[in-house]
Chains A and B, each alone.
Chain A
Amino acid sequence: DQQVKQNSPSLSVQEGRISILNCDYTNSMFDYFLWYKKYPAEGPTFLISISSIKDKNEDGRFTVFLNKSAKHLSLHIVPSQPGDSAVYFCAAVTGGFKTIFGAGTRLFVKA
């Protein structure tokens, strides 16, 4: 039973436009949510996080929104750049540091 779901395996966006990556979860006890980015042949790297007590966190072009009532979070990238093309993993943390990852969404940003 997947507790963290990324229902879109891939997303294609034009350069300069907004990319919106979505993530749904089932466990209301998650403390933090994180997004990681992964390029081919590299390990995932941390991008941005949000506490369960917040509804928004922003870092430059990246903003994460959390809707606790819907058990949904999203990552917005504005403006999208070709270098943003990668696999994005949504992750949720419970019990201090146990992290559960979604299946990932592959983002293509077209020049």
Chain B
Amino acid sequence: DVKVTQSSRYLVKRTGEKVFLECVQDMDHENMFWYRQDPGLGLRLIYFSYDVKMKEKGDIPEGYSVSREKKERFSLILESASTNQTSMYLCASSYQTGGSQPQHFGDGTRLSIL
């Protein structure tokens, strides 16, 4: 069975801290994604990666960076956390070929920045 695992379900951090959110998939997928979900806004793409060490900005990359050193792992980094980054963060992965390939999601990390 396919599996995307996010390291934390809940996380509380302070303003200005550097925050790491980790995501691992066991499906040998080429593509990996980071979204944030906010009420009334749906899922918004922060960054995605289509290969190891490759990354592309999504729609809202400001204040975030990512790292993909291994195919199975995609990390989201909040360089200096701010209160407006309080949100639900979702990681996803998919096969490279074809737009019809659905994304497989982790269960999310609810991040609170105090």
Give me the interface of A with B, judged by CB distance under 8 Å.
4, 6, 9, 31-32, 34, 36, 41-46, 49, 51, 89, 93-104
A10 → chain B, closest Cβ, in Å? 12
Q: Which of B31, B44, B92, B103 has the most chain A CB atoms inside 10 A of its CB? A: B103
Contacts of A103 in B (CB 8 A): 40-42
* Cα distance, A32 to B102, chains bound together (Å): 10
Among B90, B99, B104, B107, contact of A97 (Cβ-Cβ < 8 Å): B99
Beta-carbon nearest neighbor of A6 in chain B? B42
Among A45, A93, A95, A104, contact of B100 (Cβ-Cβ < 8 Å): A93
Among B31, B90, B102, contact of A49 (Cβ-Cβ < 8 Å): B102
Give me the interface of B with A, judged by CB distance under 8 Å.
4, 9, 31, 33, 35, 40-45, 48, 50, 90, 92, 94, 96, 98-108
A-B contacts at CB below 8 angstroms, number: 64
Indicate if the CB atoms of A101 and B43 lie closer than 8 Å.
yes
Other than the known A44-B90, A45-B105, A97-B99, what 20 A-B pairs have Cβ atoms closer than 8 Å? A31-B100, A32-B100, A36-B102, A41-B107, A42-B108, A44-B43, A46-B102, A49-B100, A93-B100, A94-B99, A95-B99, A97-B48, A98-B45, A98-B48, A99-B103, A101-B42, A101-B44, A103-B41, A103-B42, A104-B42
* Cα distance, A26 to B33, chains bound together (Å): 23
Contacts of A100 in B (CB 8 A): 45
* Cα distance, A97 to B48, chains bound together (Å): 10
A15 → chain B, closest Cβ, in Å? 27
